[in-house]
């Protein structure tokens, strides 16, 4: 798998590639990362890569020609029989989620374009960009952080990167959890600041532990991401026991809210 990253600031990626458990993916060649600076393909003494926007307004726009020359060099270096997609990180893009990350993790990679300033000349986007991706409804100063998020998410899914091969299957949003949120986790000591680990986790009864985790996953998802619960229900992922647990959890939350509300005289 190979990712070619078009960025004006390749130095920002250094900690990502050399720190944490995902560095195994890069050091072992499971995920190849190559950097390309558009400034190396710009003309003139100042190697200019941006200019003022036609029509006026604040900010600068990345020039199309240096990006085109940079992309041409990347295509030649990759020696592709079929072109890898060119991805632009942009507010109008599809929001990155687990399903998309899983697809990327099984792919041959892509060319990632990290925009800066007010964005990229629309003519280059229209002509060469295959896919646009967003991290959410907010604006970053550049696409580098979004590219790092994609790389990190993809790298940790590669075989041999995580200590436990199956640990990522219990992540939130994973199909193994029916797309729901993960349950809470606890570690030693058994009692911390007067708060004990839930007794179910201390029981040693694997079936009870798994049921407790499932119930916690259901209740957390219902409370914080109910749309995920609706999706799981539509896909037939919720059992009758799950639905009973959800009703019981809903009743408990209602009772707790009523007990906490001020009583009228």
Tell me which residue of 66, 101, 84 sits closest to 3, measured CA to CA: 84
| DSSP β-ladder status, 60-62 and 86-95 | unpaired
Peptide bond into 189 cis (omega under 30): yes
How many C-beta neighbours within 10 Å does residue 27 have? Answer: 11
Is 171 part of the annotated catalytic residue set?
yes
The catalytic position among 171, 182, 200, 211 is 171
Is 255 part of the annotated catalytic residue set?
no
The catalytic position among 118, 152, 182, 200 is 118
C-beta of residue 245 within 8 angstroms of C-beta of residue 216: no
Contacts for 1 with CB less than 8 Å, ≥ 6 apart: 30, 31, 32, 105, 107, 108, 109, 154, 158
Instruction: Say how far apart CA 169 and CA 98 lie, in whole Å.
Output: 11
Q: Report angle CA 64, 65, 69 to the nearest 5 degrees.
A: 120
Is 215 part of the annotated catalytic residue set?
no
The catalytic position among 32, 40, 91, 248 is 91
Instruction: Say how far apart CA 224 and CA 265 lie, in whole Å.
Output: 33
The catalytic position among 156, 213, 215, 242 is 156
Is 43 part of the annotated catalytic residue set?
no
Phi, psi of 45 (to 5 degrees): -65, -30
* Residues tagged active-site: 91, 118, 156, 171
């Amino acid at each position: 798998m190979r990712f070619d990253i078009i960025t004006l600031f390749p130095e920002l990626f250094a900690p990502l590639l050399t720190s944490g458990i995902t560095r195994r993916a890069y050091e072992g060649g499971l995920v190849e990362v190559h950097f390309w600076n558009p400034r190396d393909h710009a003309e003139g003494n100042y190697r200019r890569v941006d200019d003022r926007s036609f029509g006026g307004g604040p900010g600068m726009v990345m020039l199309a020609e240096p990006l085109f020359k940079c992309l041409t060099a990347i295509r030649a270096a990759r020696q592709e029989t079929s072109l890898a997609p060119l991805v632009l990180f942009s507010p109008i893009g599809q929001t990155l989620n687990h399903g998309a990350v899983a697809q990327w993790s099984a792919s041959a990679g892509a060319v990632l374009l990290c925009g800066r300033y007010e964005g990229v000349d629309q003519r280059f986007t229209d002509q060469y960009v295959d896919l646009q991706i967003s991290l959410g409804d907010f604006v970053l100063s550049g696409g580098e952080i979004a590219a790092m998020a994609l790389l990190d998410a993809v790298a940790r899914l590669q075989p041999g990167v995580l200590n436990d091969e199956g640990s990522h299957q219990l992540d939130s949003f994973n199909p193994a959890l029916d797309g729901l949120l993960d349950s809470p986790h606890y570690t030693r000591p058994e009692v911390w600041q007067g708060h004990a680990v839930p007794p179910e986790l201390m029981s040693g009864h694997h079936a009870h532990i798994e049921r407790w985790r499932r119930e916690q996953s259901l209740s957390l998802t219902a409370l914080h991401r109910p749309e995920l619960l609706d999706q799981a229900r539509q896909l037939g992922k919720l059992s009758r026991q799950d639905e009973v647990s959800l009703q019981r959890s809903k009743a408990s939350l209602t009772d707790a809210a009523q007990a906490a509300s001020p009583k009228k005289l």
